[in-house]
Amino acid sequence: MTSSLHSSERNEAVRRTLWIVLFLNLVVTALKITLGLATGALSVVADGFHSLVDASSNLISLAMLRLAERSADEKHPYGYQRFETLGALFIGVLMMLAAGEIAMQAIDHWRHGVPTVEPIALYLMAVAFVVNLGVVWWESRQGKRWQSELLLADSAHTKSDLWVTASVVASLIGVRMGLHWLDPIVALLIAVLIVRTAWEILVEAAQYLTDASIVDPDTVAKVAMTVPGVLDAHNIRSRGKPTAAFVDLHIHVPPGMGTEQAHALAHEVETRIKSEVPGVVEALVHVEPAEANEAVSPWADLTSRLRRVADGLGLGIHEVHISTLPDGEGYTAEMHLEFPGEATLGEAHRQAQAFTERAKAEIPALREIVAHLEPLPAQVLPAQEGDAALAEEARQFAASHCPNGQIQHVDLRRSGTHMTAAVRCALPAEMPLEQAHAQADALQRELLTAFTMLSRAIVQVVPLEDTPTPNEVTA
Protein backbone atom coordinates (compact mmCIF):
# COMPACT_ATOMS: atom_id res chain seq x y z
CA MET A 1 0.00 0.00 0.00
CA THR A 2 2.77 2.41 0.95
CA SER A 3 4.67 1.51 -2.24
CA SER A 4 1.62 2.17 -4.45
CA LEU A 5 1.00 5.52 -2.72
CA HIS A 6 4.62 6.53 -3.25
CA SER A 7 4.44 5.49 -6.91
CA SER A 8 1.24 7.51 -7.40
CA GLU A 9 2.81 10.55 -5.71
CA ARG A 10 5.91 10.19 -7.88
CA ASN A 11 3.96 9.94 -11.13
CA GLU A 12 1.82 12.95 -10.20
CA ALA A 13 4.95 15.01 -9.42
CA VAL A 14 6.58 13.99 -12.72
CA ARG A 15 3.41 14.83 -14.65
CA ARG A 16 3.09 18.24 -12.98
CA THR A 17 6.72 19.02 -13.79
CA LEU A 18 6.27 18.07 -17.44
CA TRP A 19 3.19 20.29 -17.83
CA ILE A 20 5.06 23.29 -16.40
CA VAL A 21 8.08 22.63 -18.63
CA LEU A 22 5.79 22.23 -21.65
CA PHE A 23 4.19 25.63 -20.99
CA LEU A 24 7.58 27.36 -20.63
CA ASN A 25 8.91 25.66 -23.79
CA LEU A 26 5.89 26.87 -25.77
CA VAL A 27 6.45 30.43 -24.51
CA VAL A 28 10.14 30.31 -25.52
CA THR A 29 9.25 28.74 -28.89
CA ALA A 30 6.76 31.49 -29.72
CA LEU A 31 9.29 34.15 -28.68
CA LYS A 32 12.09 32.74 -30.85
CA ILE A 33 10.04 32.09 -33.99
CA THR A 34 8.34 35.49 -33.83
CA LEU A 35 11.69 37.22 -33.26
CA GLY A 36 13.40 35.28 -36.05
CA LEU A 37 10.69 36.03 -38.59
CA ALA A 38 10.62 39.70 -37.60
CA THR A 39 14.41 40.16 -37.87
CA GLY A 40 15.10 37.76 -40.72
CA ALA A 41 17.63 35.79 -38.64
CA LEU A 42 17.35 32.19 -39.85
CA SER A 43 19.41 30.87 -36.93
CA VAL A 44 16.84 32.30 -34.52
CA VAL A 45 13.99 30.73 -36.49
CA ALA A 46 15.83 27.38 -36.49
CA ASP A 47 16.39 27.68 -32.75
CA GLY A 48 12.68 28.32 -32.33
CA PHE A 49 11.78 25.16 -34.21
CA HIS A 50 14.35 23.31 -32.12
CA SER A 51 12.48 24.50 -29.02
CA LEU A 52 9.29 23.26 -30.66
CA VAL A 53 10.91 19.81 -30.73
CA ASP A 54 11.39 20.21 -26.96
CA ALA A 55 7.69 20.92 -26.53
CA SER A 56 6.89 17.86 -28.65
CA SER A 57 9.15 15.72 -26.47
CA ASN A 58 7.24 16.98 -23.40
CA LEU A 59 3.98 15.79 -24.95
CA ILE A 60 5.58 12.43 -25.76
CA SER A 61 6.85 12.18 -22.18
CA LEU A 62 3.37 12.86 -20.79
CA ALA A 63 1.88 10.17 -23.03
CA MET A 64 4.58 7.66 -22.03
CA LEU A 65 4.06 8.45 -18.34
CA ARG A 66 0.34 7.81 -18.70
CA LEU A 67 1.11 4.39 -20.18
CA ALA A 68 3.71 3.64 -17.50
CA GLU A 69 1.07 4.22 -14.78
CA ARG A 70 -1.09 1.33 -15.94
CA SER A 71 -1.30 -1.70 -13.70
CA ALA A 72 0.07 -5.04 -14.86
CA ASP A 73 -2.32 -7.09 -16.99
CA GLU A 74 -2.28 -10.26 -19.10
CA LYS A 75 -0.51 -8.56 -22.02
CA HIS A 76 2.03 -6.83 -19.77
CA PRO A 77 2.42 -9.00 -16.64
CA TYR A 78 5.42 -6.95 -15.49
CA GLY A 79 3.60 -3.63 -15.87
CA TYR A 80 4.08 -0.71 -18.25
CA GLN A 81 7.12 0.94 -16.63
CA ARG A 82 9.26 0.42 -19.73
CA PHE A 83 7.13 2.87 -21.67
CA GLU A 84 8.88 5.58 -19.65
CA THR A 85 12.17 4.14 -20.91
CA LEU A 86 10.82 4.23 -24.47
CA GLY A 87 10.04 7.91 -23.93
CA ALA A 88 13.65 8.56 -22.86
CA LEU A 89 14.84 6.59 -25.91
CA PHE A 90 12.73 8.72 -28.24
CA ILE A 91 14.06 11.92 -26.65
CA GLY A 92 17.60 10.67 -27.29
CA VAL A 93 16.76 10.18 -30.96
CA LEU A 94 15.28 13.70 -31.14
CA MET A 95 18.49 15.09 -29.66
CA MET A 96 20.51 13.31 -32.36
CA LEU A 97 18.28 14.87 -35.01
CA ALA A 98 18.64 18.28 -33.37
CA ALA A 99 22.43 17.92 -33.45
CA GLY A 100 22.26 17.12 -37.15
CA GLU A 101 20.07 20.19 -37.68
CA ILE A 102 22.59 22.42 -35.89
CA ALA A 103 25.48 20.98 -37.91
CA MET A 104 23.70 21.59 -41.21
CA GLN A 105 22.78 25.11 -40.11
CA ALA A 106 26.44 25.76 -39.20
CA ILE A 107 27.59 24.62 -42.65
CA ASP A 108 24.96 26.84 -44.26
CA HIS A 109 26.15 29.84 -42.21
CA TRP A 110 29.74 29.11 -43.22
CA ARG A 111 28.79 29.18 -46.88
CA HIS A 112 26.27 32.01 -46.97
CA GLY A 113 26.76 34.09 -43.82
CA VAL A 114 23.94 35.54 -41.68
CA PRO A 115 21.87 38.73 -41.96
CA THR A 116 22.45 41.80 -39.83
CA VAL A 117 20.35 41.83 -36.64
CA GLU A 118 19.22 44.54 -34.24
CA PRO A 119 20.22 44.72 -30.53
CA ILE A 120 16.64 43.89 -29.47
CA ALA A 121 17.16 40.41 -30.90
CA LEU A 122 20.13 39.89 -28.59
CA TYR A 123 18.16 41.05 -25.55
CA LEU A 124 15.20 38.77 -26.26
CA MET A 125 17.46 35.79 -26.96
CA ALA A 126 19.16 36.47 -23.61
CA VAL A 127 15.72 36.31 -21.95
CA ALA A 128 15.06 32.97 -23.67
CA PHE A 129 18.43 31.71 -22.43
CA VAL A 130 17.59 32.62 -18.81
CA VAL A 131 14.19 30.88 -19.06
CA ASN A 132 15.81 27.72 -20.47
CA LEU A 133 18.45 27.82 -17.73
CA GLY A 134 15.74 27.93 -15.04
CA VAL A 135 13.85 25.06 -16.70
CA VAL A 136 16.97 22.87 -16.84
CA TRP A 137 17.86 23.49 -13.19
CA TRP A 138 14.35 22.85 -11.88
CA GLU A 139 13.54 19.84 -14.09
CA SER A 140 16.88 18.19 -13.31
CA ARG A 141 16.30 18.71 -9.60
CA GLN A 142 12.82 17.17 -9.82
CA GLY A 143 14.19 14.24 -11.84
CA LYS A 144 16.78 13.44 -9.17
CA ARG A 145 14.25 13.87 -6.37
CA TRP A 146 11.74 11.47 -7.91
CA GLN A 147 14.31 9.23 -9.64
CA SER A 148 12.60 9.78 -12.99
CA GLU A 149 14.69 8.88 -16.02
CA LEU A 150 12.07 10.66 -18.12
CA LEU A 151 12.62 14.01 -16.37
CA LEU A 152 16.39 13.57 -16.34
CA ALA A 153 16.42 12.79 -20.07
CA ASP A 154 14.12 15.71 -20.83
CA SER A 155 16.24 18.09 -18.73
CA ALA A 156 19.33 16.91 -20.62
CA HIS A 157 17.49 17.61 -23.87
CA THR A 158 16.48 21.06 -22.64
CA LYS A 159 20.09 21.64 -21.60
CA SER A 160 21.02 21.26 -25.26
CA ASP A 161 18.77 24.25 -25.88
CA LEU A 162 21.05 26.31 -23.67
CA TRP A 163 23.96 25.53 -25.96
CA VAL A 164 21.90 26.13 -29.06
CA THR A 165 20.63 29.46 -27.76
CA ALA A 166 24.13 30.41 -26.63
CA SER A 167 25.51 29.60 -30.08
CA VAL A 168 22.81 31.72 -31.69
CA VAL A 169 23.55 34.65 -29.37
CA ALA A 170 27.29 34.23 -30.04
CA SER A 171 26.68 34.12 -33.78
CA LEU A 172 24.54 37.25 -33.61
CA ILE A 173 27.24 39.07 -31.63
CA GLY A 174 29.85 37.80 -34.08
CA VAL A 175 27.84 39.05 -37.03
CA ARG A 176 27.53 42.51 -35.49
CA MET A 177 31.33 42.49 -34.95
CA GLY A 178 32.06 41.17 -38.42
CA LEU A 179 33.19 37.71 -37.20
CA HIS A 180 31.02 35.66 -39.53
CA TRP A 181 33.12 32.52 -39.03
CA LEU A 182 32.32 32.39 -35.27
CA ASP A 183 28.75 31.17 -35.70
CA PRO A 184 29.43 27.91 -37.63
CA ILE A 185 32.44 26.96 -35.47
CA VAL A 186 30.51 27.36 -32.19
CA ALA A 187 27.47 25.60 -33.64
CA LEU A 188 29.52 22.55 -34.71
CA LEU A 189 31.09 22.25 -31.24
CA ILE A 190 27.64 22.40 -29.67
CA ALA A 191 26.39 19.71 -32.04
CA VAL A 192 29.16 17.40 -30.82
CA LEU A 193 28.20 18.02 -27.17
CA ILE A 194 24.54 17.30 -27.91
CA VAL A 195 25.45 14.05 -29.67
CA ARG A 196 27.45 13.00 -26.61
CA THR A 197 24.53 13.68 -24.24
CA ALA A 198 22.08 11.92 -26.54
CA TRP A 199 24.39 8.91 -26.75
CA GLU A 200 24.49 8.62 -22.95
CA ILE A 201 20.68 8.69 -22.80
CA LEU A 202 20.38 6.07 -25.55
CA VAL A 203 22.94 3.75 -23.90
CA GLU A 204 21.19 3.97 -20.52
CA ALA A 205 17.77 3.33 -22.05
CA ALA A 206 19.17 0.42 -24.06
CA GLN A 207 20.54 -1.15 -20.86
CA TYR A 208 17.06 -1.12 -19.30
CA LEU A 209 15.44 -2.49 -22.46
CA THR A 210 18.02 -5.28 -22.86
CA ASP A 211 17.66 -6.49 -19.24
CA ALA A 212 21.03 -5.31 -17.96
CA SER A 213 21.61 -6.07 -14.27
CA ILE A 214 20.12 -3.30 -12.12
CA VAL A 215 20.60 -4.40 -8.49
CA ASP A 216 23.89 -5.34 -6.82
CA PRO A 217 23.78 -9.16 -6.32
CA ASP A 218 25.87 -8.94 -3.15
CA THR A 219 23.30 -6.63 -1.57
CA VAL A 220 20.48 -9.07 -2.39
CA ALA A 221 22.51 -12.01 -1.05
CA LYS A 222 23.25 -10.24 2.24
CA VAL A 223 19.55 -9.50 2.78
CA ALA A 224 18.52 -13.07 1.92
CA MET A 225 21.10 -14.52 4.31
CA THR A 226 19.59 -12.58 7.22
CA VAL A 227 16.59 -14.93 7.14
CA PRO A 228 17.08 -17.86 9.55
CA GLY A 229 17.19 -21.14 7.64
CA VAL A 230 18.75 -19.74 4.45
CA LEU A 231 22.10 -21.47 4.01
CA ASP A 232 23.13 -19.87 0.73
CA ALA A 233 21.89 -17.41 -1.92
CA HIS A 234 23.08 -17.68 -5.52
CA ASN A 235 22.06 -17.24 -9.20
CA ILE A 236 20.90 -13.72 -8.37
CA ARG A 237 19.52 -11.83 -11.35
CA SER A 238 17.79 -8.49 -11.75
CA ARG A 239 16.28 -6.45 -14.53
CA GLY A 240 14.02 -3.46 -15.04
CA LYS A 241 15.07 0.01 -13.99
CA PRO A 242 16.27 1.61 -10.74
CA THR A 243 12.76 2.58 -9.60
CA ALA A 244 11.09 -0.71 -10.67
CA ALA A 245 13.53 -3.62 -10.45
CA PHE A 246 12.59 -7.31 -10.63
CA VAL A 247 14.84 -9.78 -8.82
CA ASP A 248 15.01 -13.57 -8.84
CA LEU A 249 17.38 -15.79 -6.90
CA HIS A 250 17.99 -19.32 -5.66
CA ILE A 251 18.40 -20.19 -1.99
CA HIS A 252 19.58 -23.35 -0.24
CA VAL A 253 17.64 -24.63 2.78
CA PRO A 254 18.23 -27.67 5.02
CA PRO A 255 17.59 -30.83 2.94
CA GLY A 256 14.76 -32.16 5.10
CA MET A 257 12.73 -28.96 5.32
CA GLY A 258 9.02 -29.42 4.66
CA THR A 259 7.17 -27.74 1.81
CA GLU A 260 5.09 -25.45 3.99
CA GLN A 261 8.10 -24.26 5.98
CA ALA A 262 10.19 -23.76 2.83
CA HIS A 263 7.38 -21.73 1.27
CA ALA A 264 7.09 -19.54 4.37
CA LEU A 265 10.86 -19.03 4.39
CA ALA A 266 10.89 -18.05 0.69
CA HIS A 267 8.06 -15.59 1.31
CA GLU A 268 10.06 -13.99 4.13
CA VAL A 269 13.10 -13.65 1.84
CA GLU A 270 10.95 -11.96 -0.81
CA THR A 271 9.43 -9.59 1.74
CA ARG A 272 12.81 -8.53 3.14
CA ILE A 273 14.33 -7.96 -0.30
CA LYS A 274 11.42 -5.74 -1.37
CA SER A 275 11.54 -3.74 1.85
CA GLU A 276 15.33 -3.45 2.29
CA VAL A 277 16.73 -3.23 -1.27
CA PRO A 278 15.85 0.16 -2.85
CA GLY A 279 13.85 0.03 -6.07
CA VAL A 280 12.87 -3.66 -5.95
CA VAL A 281 9.14 -4.08 -6.65
CA GLU A 282 9.06 -7.85 -7.02
CA ALA A 283 11.27 -10.74 -5.93
CA LEU A 284 11.02 -14.39 -6.92
CA VAL A 285 12.77 -17.00 -4.78
CA HIS A 286 13.58 -20.54 -5.96
CA VAL A 287 14.08 -22.96 -3.06
CA GLU A 288 16.62 -25.77 -3.36
CA PRO A 289 17.64 -28.39 -0.78
CA ALA A 290 21.21 -28.03 0.42
CA GLU A 291 23.81 -30.55 -0.71
CA ALA A 292 24.94 -33.14 1.78
CA ASN A 293 28.33 -31.49 2.18
CA GLU A 294 26.89 -28.09 3.11
CA ALA A 295 27.11 -27.12 6.77
CA VAL A 296 23.77 -27.83 8.47
CA SER A 297 23.50 -28.16 12.24
CA PRO A 298 22.13 -31.48 13.58
CA TRP A 299 19.30 -29.60 15.27
CA ALA A 300 18.26 -27.83 12.03
CA ASP A 301 18.49 -31.08 10.08
CA LEU A 302 16.46 -33.13 12.57
CA THR A 303 13.85 -30.39 13.04
CA SER A 304 13.26 -29.93 9.33
CA ARG A 305 13.00 -33.69 8.79
CA LEU A 306 10.48 -33.99 11.63
CA ARG A 307 8.42 -31.20 10.07
CA ARG A 308 8.50 -33.01 6.74
CA VAL A 309 7.13 -36.18 8.36
CA ALA A 310 4.41 -34.18 10.11
CA ASP A 311 3.51 -32.43 6.83
CA GLY A 312 3.13 -35.80 5.16
CA LEU A 313 0.59 -36.87 7.80
CA GLY A 314 -1.27 -33.56 7.80
CA LEU A 315 -0.13 -32.68 11.31
CA GLY A 316 1.38 -29.55 12.76
CA ILE A 317 4.23 -29.43 15.27
CA HIS A 318 5.77 -26.73 17.42
CA GLU A 319 8.05 -26.27 20.43
CA VAL A 320 10.48 -28.92 19.17
CA HIS A 321 13.29 -29.74 21.63
CA ILE A 322 16.06 -32.15 20.64
CA SER A 323 18.80 -33.52 22.90
CA THR A 324 21.31 -36.34 22.86
CA LEU A 325 20.72 -39.48 24.91
CA PRO A 326 22.88 -40.08 28.01
CA ASP A 327 24.91 -42.75 26.20
CA GLY A 328 25.57 -40.34 23.32
CA GLU A 329 24.09 -42.82 20.84
CA GLY A 330 21.25 -41.01 19.13
CA TYR A 331 18.76 -38.30 19.95
CA THR A 332 15.49 -37.77 21.80
CA ALA A 333 12.88 -35.29 20.56
CA GLU A 334 10.12 -33.58 22.52
CA MET A 335 7.40 -31.60 20.77
CA HIS A 336 3.78 -30.55 20.65
CA LEU A 337 1.68 -32.33 18.01
CA GLU A 338 -1.33 -30.37 16.78
CA PHE A 339 -4.72 -32.03 16.10
CA PRO A 340 -8.19 -30.76 15.21
CA GLY A 341 -10.15 -29.82 18.33
CA GLU A 342 -12.91 -32.33 17.56
CA ALA A 343 -10.50 -35.32 17.44
CA THR A 344 -10.87 -38.01 20.13
CA LEU A 345 -7.99 -39.14 22.30
CA GLY A 346 -7.93 -42.49 20.51
CA GLU A 347 -7.72 -40.88 17.06
CA ALA A 348 -5.01 -38.48 18.16
CA HIS A 349 -3.03 -41.29 19.79
CA ARG A 350 -3.14 -43.42 16.63
CA GLN A 351 -1.94 -40.51 14.50
CA ALA A 352 0.81 -39.77 17.01
CA GLN A 353 1.93 -43.40 16.87
CA ALA A 354 2.00 -43.27 13.07
CA PHE A 355 4.08 -40.10 13.26
CA THR A 356 6.51 -41.68 15.74
CA GLU A 357 6.97 -44.85 13.67
CA ARG A 358 7.53 -42.97 10.42
CA ALA A 359 9.89 -40.45 12.02
CA LYS A 360 12.04 -43.22 13.53
CA ALA A 361 12.06 -45.10 10.23
CA GLU A 362 13.23 -42.03 8.28
CA ILE A 363 15.62 -40.79 10.98
CA PRO A 364 17.50 -43.82 12.40
CA ALA A 365 19.44 -41.62 14.84
CA LEU A 366 16.17 -40.59 16.50
CA ARG A 367 15.75 -43.12 19.32
CA GLU A 368 12.97 -41.57 21.37
CA ILE A 369 10.02 -39.23 20.69
CA VAL A 370 7.85 -37.63 23.37
CA ALA A 371 4.81 -35.89 21.89
CA HIS A 372 2.36 -33.68 23.73
CA LEU A 373 -1.06 -33.97 22.06
CA GLU A 374 -2.53 -30.50 21.64
CA PRO A 375 -6.03 -29.76 20.28
CA LEU A 376 -6.43 -26.71 18.09
CA PRO A 377 -9.65 -24.68 18.49
CA ALA A 378 -12.01 -24.68 15.53
CA GLN A 379 -11.99 -20.90 15.58
CA VAL A 380 -10.10 -18.06 17.19
CA LEU A 381 -11.47 -17.57 20.71
CA PRO A 382 -12.36 -14.04 21.84
CA ALA A 383 -10.17 -12.65 24.61
CA GLN A 384 -11.40 -10.67 27.61
CA GLU A 385 -9.53 -8.32 29.87
CA GLY A 386 -8.20 -9.72 33.12
CA ASP A 387 -8.32 -8.17 36.57
CA ALA A 388 -6.33 -4.90 36.80
CA ALA A 389 -5.34 -5.46 40.43
CA LEU A 390 -4.15 -8.97 39.61
CA ALA A 391 -2.15 -7.61 36.66
CA GLU A 392 -0.41 -5.09 38.91
CA GLU A 393 0.33 -7.82 41.46
CA ALA A 394 1.81 -9.98 38.70
CA ARG A 395 3.96 -7.05 37.50
CA GLN A 396 5.36 -6.46 40.99
CA PHE A 397 6.04 -10.17 41.43
CA ALA A 398 7.83 -10.37 38.07
CA ALA A 399 9.89 -7.26 38.89
CA SER A 400 11.05 -8.79 42.18
CA HIS A 401 12.17 -11.95 40.36
CA CYS A 402 14.02 -10.10 37.59
CA PRO A 403 16.70 -8.16 39.50
CA ASN A 404 19.04 -7.52 36.55
CA GLY A 405 16.29 -6.53 34.13
CA GLN A 406 13.20 -4.38 33.77
CA ILE A 407 9.57 -5.46 33.45
CA GLN A 408 8.21 -3.29 30.66
CA HIS A 409 4.80 -4.79 30.11
CA VAL A 410 2.37 -7.24 31.72
CA ASP A 411 -0.73 -8.32 29.84
CA LEU A 412 -3.48 -10.51 31.35
CA ARG A 413 -6.05 -12.00 28.99
CA ARG A 414 -8.90 -14.41 29.63
CA SER A 415 -9.91 -16.72 26.77
CA GLY A 416 -12.69 -19.15 27.56
CA THR A 417 -11.74 -20.82 30.85
CA HIS A 418 -8.04 -20.02 30.45
CA MET A 419 -6.08 -17.02 31.68
CA THR A 420 -2.74 -16.11 30.10
CA ALA A 421 -0.05 -13.75 31.36
CA ALA A 422 2.27 -12.19 28.78
CA VAL A 423 5.32 -10.51 30.31
CA ARG A 424 7.82 -8.31 28.48
CA CYS A 425 11.16 -8.40 30.29
CA ALA A 426 14.11 -6.22 29.21
CA LEU A 427 17.56 -7.66 29.95
CA PRO A 428 21.07 -6.35 29.20
CA ALA A 429 21.78 -6.56 25.46
CA GLU A 430 25.19 -8.15 26.05
CA MET A 431 23.69 -11.05 28.05
CA PRO A 432 24.18 -14.42 26.29
CA LEU A 433 20.96 -15.65 24.68
CA GLU A 434 21.18 -18.96 26.54
CA GLN A 435 21.28 -17.15 29.90
CA ALA A 436 18.41 -14.84 28.91
CA HIS A 437 16.32 -17.84 27.85
CA ALA A 438 17.02 -19.62 31.14
CA GLN A 439 15.98 -16.54 33.13
CA ALA A 440 12.77 -16.24 31.12
CA ASP A 441 11.98 -19.91 31.73
CA ALA A 442 12.59 -19.51 35.47
CA LEU A 443 10.32 -16.45 35.67
CA GLN A 444 7.64 -18.31 33.73
CA ARG A 445 7.71 -21.23 36.19
CA GLU A 446 7.61 -18.90 39.20
CA LEU A 447 4.61 -17.04 37.81
CA LEU A 448 2.68 -20.27 37.24
CA THR A 449 3.53 -21.44 40.76
CA ALA A 450 2.61 -18.17 42.48
CA PHE A 451 -0.56 -17.48 40.45
CA THR A 452 -2.42 -20.77 40.26
CA MET A 453 -5.27 -19.24 38.25
CA LEU A 454 -2.92 -18.85 35.25
CA SER A 455 -3.12 -21.50 32.55
CA ARG A 456 -0.13 -20.15 30.66
CA ALA A 457 2.67 -17.65 31.19
CA ILE A 458 4.78 -16.33 28.34
CA VAL A 459 7.90 -14.26 29.00
CA GLN A 460 9.27 -12.21 26.10
CA VAL A 461 12.85 -11.01 26.55
CA VAL A 462 14.15 -7.95 24.69
CA PRO A 463 17.36 -5.88 24.89
CA LEU A 464 17.25 -3.37 27.73
CA GLU A 465 17.71 -0.39 25.37
CA ASP A 466 14.42 -1.18 23.55
CA THR A 467 11.74 1.47 24.10
CA PRO A 468 9.09 0.27 26.55
CA THR A 469 5.51 -0.02 25.37
CA PRO A 470 3.21 2.89 26.30
CA ASN A 471 1.30 0.93 28.97
CA GLU A 472 3.25 -0.77 31.73
CA VAL A 473 0.28 -2.98 32.63
CA THR A 474 -2.62 -4.17 30.53
CA ALA A 475 -5.44 -6.07 32.10
- Where are the domains positioned within the chain? 2-209, 217-289, 298-376, 383-474
What span, in angstroms and rounded, lies between the C-alpha atoms of 279 and 273? 10
Q: Average pLDDT in the 243-263 region?
A: 81
* Equal CATH topology for 298-376 and 383-474: yes
- The pLDDT tens digits of the residues spanning 242-251 come to 767 889 999 9
Cross-strand bridge partners of residue 384: 414
CATH number of 298-376: 3.30.70.1350
Please, which pLDDT band fits residue 220 given cuts at 50, 70 and 90?
very high
Q: Average pLDDT in the 203-230 region?
A: 83
pLDDT value at residue 470: 41
pLDDT value at residue 270: 92
Instruction: Give the 3-state secondary structure of residue 336.
Output: strand
Is residue 55 pLDDT above 80, yes or no?
no
Is residue 3 pLDDT above 70, yes or no?
no
Sequential DSSP letters for 104-168: HHHHHHHHH------HHHHHHHHHHHHHHHHHHHHHHHHHHHHT-HHHHHHHHHHHHHHHHHHHH
Please, which pLDDT band fits residue 2 given cuts at 50, 70 and 90?
very low
**Burial group, residue 467, by CB count within 10 angstroms (0-12, 13-18, 19+):** exposed
Please, which pLDDT band fits residue 190 given cuts at 50, 70 and 90?
low
- The pLDDT tens digits of the residues spanning 93-123 come to 877 887 787 778 777 767 776 555 567 767 7
Average pLDDT of the chain? 77
State how far the alpha carbon of 446 is from the alpha carbons of 50, 405, 412, 439, 443, in Å.
Answer: 83, 16, 16, 11, 5
Is residue 334 pLDDT above 80, yes or no?
yes
Across the beta sheet with 280-289, what order do the strands follow? 232-241, 244-253, 280-289
- Which CATH superfamily groups domain 2-209? Cation efflux protein transmembrane domain (1.20.1510.10)
Q: What is the 3-state secondary structure (H, E, C) of 367-414?
A: EEEEEEEEEECCCCCCEEECCHHHHHHHHHHHHHCCCCCEEEEEEEEE
Mutual orientation of helices 149-177 and 42-68 as an angle, nearest 10°?
Answer: 180
Say whether domain 217-289 belongs to CATH 3.30.70.1350: yes
**What does R_g of the chain's alpha carbons equal in angstroms?**
35
What span, in angstroms and rounded, lies between the C-alpha atoms of 40 and 116? 8
Please, which pLDDT band fits residue 154 given cuts at 50, 70 and 90?
confident
The H-assigned helical ranges of 210-317 are 217-224, 259-276, 298-312
Determine which of 87-91, 323-327, 384-388 has the lowest per-residue pLDDT on average. 384-388
236 neighbors 277 (Cβ within 8 angstroms): no
Percent of the chain scoring above 70 in pLDDT: 75
Please, which pLDDT band fits residue 5 given cuts at 50, 70 and 90?
very low
Q: Average pLDDT in the 343-366 region?
A: 90
What span, in angstroms and rounded, lies between the C-alpha atoms of 150 and 13? 12
pLDDT value at residue 475: 36
Determine which of 13-22, 163-172, 223-232 has the lowest per-residue pLDDT on average. 163-172
Residue 178: other Cβ atoms inside 10 A:
8
Instruction: Give the 3-state secondary structure of residue 240.
Output: strand
Please, which pLDDT band fits residue 156 given cuts at 50, 70 and 90?
confident
pLDDT value at residue 355: 93
Percent of the chain scoring above 90 in pLDDT: 7
What span, in angstroms and rounded, lies between the C-alpha atoms of 135 and 411? 59
Is residue 294 pLDDT above 60, yes or no?
no
- Which CATH superfamily groups domain 383-474? Cation efflux protein, cytoplasmic domain (3.30.70.1350)
